[in-house]
Amino acid sequence: MLKIINRLILISLVTCFAACDKDFEEINKNPYGVISVDPALLFAGAQRNHIGTWNAEHIIVQQFVVPYNTGANAGFSFYQDIDGNSNTKWEQSYANTGNATLANGNAPPVKNLIQALNLLGPNSPRVNLQSIIRIWKAQVFMGLVDNYGDIPYSEAGKAVSDAKFFPKYDDDAAIYEDLYKELKESIAALNPSGEFISADLFYGTNAQPSTKTGNAADQVAKWKKLGNSLLLRLGMRYSKINPTKAASIVSEAFTGGVMTSNADNAFVKNDGTVFAQQDNLALRNFSQFHYAAEPFVNQLKSTADPRAKFMIAQYADPGAIANNLSPDVTLANQFGAPIGVTSDQILATGSPYRGARGSGLNYSQFNVNIIAAPGVPEFWVTYAQTSLLLAEAAKRGWIPGGDAQAKTYYENAIIADMATYALYPGTTPISNTDVNTYLAHPDVAYSSAEALDLINTQYWIVNIRNGTEAFANFRRTGLPALTPNPVPGALGAPGFARRLSYPDLEASANTANYNEAAAAIGGDKLSSRVFWDTP
């Protein structure tokens, strides 16, 4: 009898397990779980990548300054190599050190872009999507190389696909060679008869009205211009180390067709709430420490620059600027904080400086209602940048036209940049009269003898919110001719930082690869140089 009972129990259990197993997968499936994703959405998320930090690149090129030299505030204003001040580009473009998403809810762009390419596969029929992802990936990596030198590249973003949790660092010059290949191949592969990428934030369905397209042919035309404008930028980076190579690549880009108007600009407009410019938010929260730098303010004042009122302002209390919607923007009343001078020196009795104002210092700050507002456009590649690079290339004889064409490119760039301020909150368009008056100013008007200085000074101004590009171009050209910061700090002597340092976490978590990379570039120091930045 006991055997019969045991047999019945066994049969019942087997039947039960079989019944349970029959619908196990369906029962335990999360009906709201994401099991697939369109690579185009990953790409759209990656179009928002780091554009430069007020507290790093902008300080090095003397547009911005933090006169407080205690703790993390010291940073680049006094050339202290503080981890957090160098990390932002790395975290927001390559890999968040906490392995978390960014403030806008996305993973860092490198992860999204490489995952999108993995999902598409090498032989994807979605050639246009694949090509624009490759173009944008080249832009992201170019910025990382320009800021750090050797970086993870060939094994970057492959933790999921290839279990590469501790990627090796690749040589920066070799990366640039591959970026050249990526841009050339991707531009060539774009097909005007192919797929329209609706998710594209630059030129797709949700782009801003000034750049939006509605069909593949127009979208492809804009991406070809963007790709060639990046190729132009890449080529110009070689101007010190290999002028012959620079001239060759620049000529290729020019022949291929670069940006020709602001309608080609690669930018995204933040709404200030769901998508807010994070560095600008930080600027508001700690405003009493942050000031416009004397060299930059003096440049705006000396040329009566009509863009100045959108950039800089005097607030009654530097520590309470967020709710002050009507600061003093009169240009004559603006004063930039001196370079390499501490707050204690500024506040000292009998000092030659401007002293205190409210809870801060009596100097101009960046206009947090306009250029430093949370809801601003972020420009990665623009017609103004591109036209200034063309002006330099024409002046150097690398593209046709000589001085006459260089003058046209130069003036077109200034006109185009001034027009972009209409996209910022709380602005009115700069009048044609003001534009023409500025172009005729003795310190602005094109001059053959001063051409390179004029062109690259405008590049400095145009990139007031693209610190990565401002920093790279300053190292490439040495222009504008700024006076070195007198504080040596970690540099060992007065001068300019040549790169940002790697995150400390890399030294502890990816130790072997970090050590090899640091040795290859002459040490993980602010004074080490990326390959194209020859002394």
Q: Do the domain assignments include residue 199? A: no
CA 451 – CA 447 distance, rounded (Å): 5
Last residue of a domain, one of 350, 366, 382: 366
The residues, ordered by sequence, that sit 6+ positions from 57 with a Cβ below 8 Å of its Cβ are 147, 467, 468, 470, 471, 500
Last residue of a domain, one of 366, 397, 427: 366
CA distances from 283 to 40, 273, 365, 466 (A): 33, 16, 10, 15
Q: How many residues does the chain have?
A: 535
Q: Do the domain assignments include residue 439? A: no
The SS3 assignment for 522 reads coil
| Cβ pair 311, 300 in contact under 8 A | yes
Do 50 and 172 share a domain, yes or no?
yes
| Cβ pair 168, 511 in contact under 8 A | no
| Cβ pair 47, 129 in contact under 8 A | no
Amino acid 35: pLDDT: 53
Amino acid 332: pLDDT: 98
Residue with tokens 């120091």: 525
CA 423 – CA 153 distance, rounded (Å): 35
| Cβ pair 225, 381 in contact under 8 A | no
Amino acid 72: pLDDT: 77
Do 186 and 285 share a domain, yes or no?
no
Phi-psi region of 489 (alpha: psi -120 to 50; beta: other; left: phi over 0): left
Which DSSP state fits 489?
Answer: G
CA 185 – CA 134 distance, rounded (Å): 9
CA 497 – CA 489 distance, rounded (Å): 10
Q: Do the domain assignments include residue 7? A: no
CA 119 – CA 129 distance, rounded (Å): 12
Cis amide linkage into residue 480, ω under 30° from 0: yes
CA 380 – CA 295 distance, rounded (Å): 24
Q: Do the domain assignments include residue 201? A: no
Do 301 and 161 share a domain, yes or no?
no
CA 229 – CA 247 distance, rounded (Å): 14
Model pTM score: 0.93
Q: Do the domain assignments include residue 348? A: yes
| Cβ pair 527, 489 in contact under 8 A | no
- Give the pLDDT of the chain (535 residues) as one tens digit per residue: 444 444 444 444 444 444 455 554 555 455 544 457 899 999 999 998 899 999 999 999 999 999 999 887 889 999 999 999 999 999 999 986 544 344 445 678 999 999 999 999 999 999 999 999 999 999 999 999 999 999 999 999 998 889 999 999 999 999 999 999 999 999 999 999 999 999 999 999 999 999 999 999 999 999 999 999 999 999 999 999 999 999 999 999 999 999 999 999 999 999 988 888 989 988 888 899 999 999 999 999 999 999 999 999 999 999 999 889 999 999 999 999 999 999 999 999 999 999 999 999 999 999 999 999 999 999 999 999 999 999 999 999 999 999 999 999 999 999 999 999 999 999 999 999 999 999 999 999 999 999 999 999 999 999 999 999 999 999 999 999 999 999 999 999 999 999 999 999 999 999 999 999 999 999 999 999 999 999 9
85, two tokens: 């001040």
Do 44 and 150 share a domain, yes or no?
yes
| Cβ pair 118, 161 in contact under 8 A | yes
Last residue of a domain, one of 307, 332, 366: 366
The DSSP element (H or E) to which 266 belongs, if any, is: strand 266-269
Burial class (CB in 10 A: 0-12, 13-18, 19+), 26: exposed
Amino acid 286: pLDDT: 86
The SS3 assignment for 65 reads strand
Do 186 and 307 share a domain, yes or no?
no
How many other C-beta atoms are found inside a 10 Å radius of the C-beta of residue 53?
Answer: 25
Amino acid 99: pLDDT: 41
| Cβ pair 374, 281 in contact under 8 A | yes
CA 498 – CA 495 distance, rounded (Å): 9
How many other C-beta atoms are found inside a 10 Å radius of the C-beta of residue 6?
Answer: 10
Q: Do the domain assignments include residue 266? A: no
Q: Do the domain assignments include residue 29? A: no
Amino acid 100: pLDDT: 38
Number of folded domains in the chain?
A: 2
Do 282 and 179 share a domain, yes or no?
no
Q: Do the domain assignments include residue 265? A: no
Amino acid 128: pLDDT: 98
CA 298 – CA 311 distance, rounded (Å): 13
Range(s) of the domain holding residue 282: 278-366
Dihedral of alpha carbons 223, 476, 497, 288, sign: negative
